[in-house]
Amino acid sequence: MQNSSRVPIFVAAGGTGGDLFPVLAVVEELERTLQPRTIFEPMFIGNPRRIEGQVIPARGYQFIPIPMRGYYGLGRLRTYSLAWRLPVSLARVVRGFVSVRPRVALLAGSYLSLPVALVARSVRVPIVVVEINAVPGKVNRIVSRWAERILVSVPSCRDGLPRSVQGRVSVVGTPIRSELRTLPDAQKARRRFGLETERPVLLVLGGSLGARSINQAVETLMERILAAGWQILWQTGAEFHTPSRAGVVARPFIEDMASAYATAELVLSRAGGSTVAELTALGKAAILVPYPHAANREQHYNAEMLVAAKAAVMVDDAELTTALWPELSRLLHDEHRRLEMARAARSIGVPDAAVRAASEIAALISNGQ
């Protein structure tokens, strides 16, 4: 390539699809932004046993496997494995830095970010942090102190970061996958999943890992949902199995989320940052059940934003058995309210967040040349 330059970057994102896919969307947009002037070389770092270990190699990107895992509290045996996981992860990241010499480290703020941030800081590689939740997580609050740029989803997230870094914060929204920016025809999407084209669809999402409490609640309510004239498209996660039933399509993981969203007139889901961004960018009415064990209650804050905008209703995980059906039944039978919620969701969406984030990173790379 004539007059081209190499732009290798390190990317630490994963653990769940919610952490991985927004950053992957930024990487894909950055590739479009930089080419054909540069040879763009993203190197992903992640745990080979989590979703990134499947998705990243399958998409043809280079991948450095590390054994890093999260902090589970002092009373959990898994926490103490960090005594060997962190040093091994650091050693592999150091070897990668020496070999690749990245221009930027792009971090999503999960536990995977920590060893990459430590190495990047020690060798003075600029750090860019992406925070997709309404409040920053623990790792991002630490790593943000070393970052050149901090890209956040909503203005309120800035307030949760250290005062010393708030001048480096840009509000760009939460990036969504490029394939979600334009949805296919609803009837064609329903046929793709083997659903009836004219019956409305409830899309059930528990994240890439599934959500046992949501799955159990839907299984209990399945016959009532079907009796109301609806169908169910259900991402169950790998560990939950439901009997096959007419009107119910259950899959461990749904790769084609554009078609899945296109089928849906209502979504029942956790309230991860990437899911909330997708719901608002696409304009989908939703019932949100925040993950109850998040240390910072990030998903509660995410859900509360949509509730305040009248784009969703929220049900606490602990109250699913008693509170879900009244909310769900009302929405199944009230098309006008679903349409109003969908319009409200779209009004607060940021469908070009990936473009905004990529522009910020491209400018940083350009200034460093």
Reported confidence tier of residue 72, pLDDT bands at 50, 70, 90: low
- Tell whether the model's pLDDT for residue 201 goes beyond 60: yes
- Average pLDDT for 90-98: 97
CB 313 within 8 A of CB 285: no
Two tokens at 50?
Answer: 């989590």
Beta bridge partners of 284: none
- Tell whether the model's pLDDT for residue 131 goes beyond 70: yes
- Tell whether the model's pLDDT for residue 153 goes beyond 80: yes
- Tell whether the model's pLDDT for residue 45 goes beyond 60: yes
Reported confidence tier of residue 287, pLDDT bands at 50, 70, 90: very high
Two tokens at 147?
Answer: 């970052």
- Tell whether the model's pLDDT for residue 241 goes beyond 70: yes
Reported confidence tier of residue 16, pLDDT bands at 50, 70, 90: confident
- Average pLDDT for 25-42: 91
Which one has a higher pLDDT value, 186 or 1?
186
Q: In 3D, which of 221, 316, 215, 204 has the Cα closest to residue 269?
A: 204
The β-bridge relationship of strands 127-131 and 169-171 is: unpaired
- Average pLDDT for 221-245: 92
Predicted local distance difference test score (pLDDT) of residue 1: 37
Which one has a higher pLDDT value, 81 or 209?
81
Predicted local distance difference test score (pLDDT) of residue 209: 63
Which residue blocks in the chain are alpha helix, DSSP H?
17-34, 51-58, 82-100, 113-122, 138-143, 155-159, 186-192, 212-227, 257-263, 273-282, 298-308, 320-332, 335-347, 353-367
What is the overall mean pLDDT for the chain?
92
Predicted local distance difference test score (pLDDT) of residue 239: 85
Q: In 3D, which of 253, 239, 219 has the Cα closest to residue 324?
A: 219
On the 0-12 / 13-18 / 19+ scale of CB atoms within 10 A, 1 is: exposed
- CB-facing half-sphere around the CA of 124: CA atoms within 13 A: 1
- Average pLDDT for 22-49: 93
Domains annotated on the chain, with CATH: 5-178+351-367 (3.40.50.2000), 182-347 (3.40.50.2000)
Predicted local distance difference test score (pLDDT) of residue 208: 61
- Average pLDDT for 197-204: 97
- What angle in degrees, to the nearest 10, is found between the helix axes of 212-227 and 320-332? 40
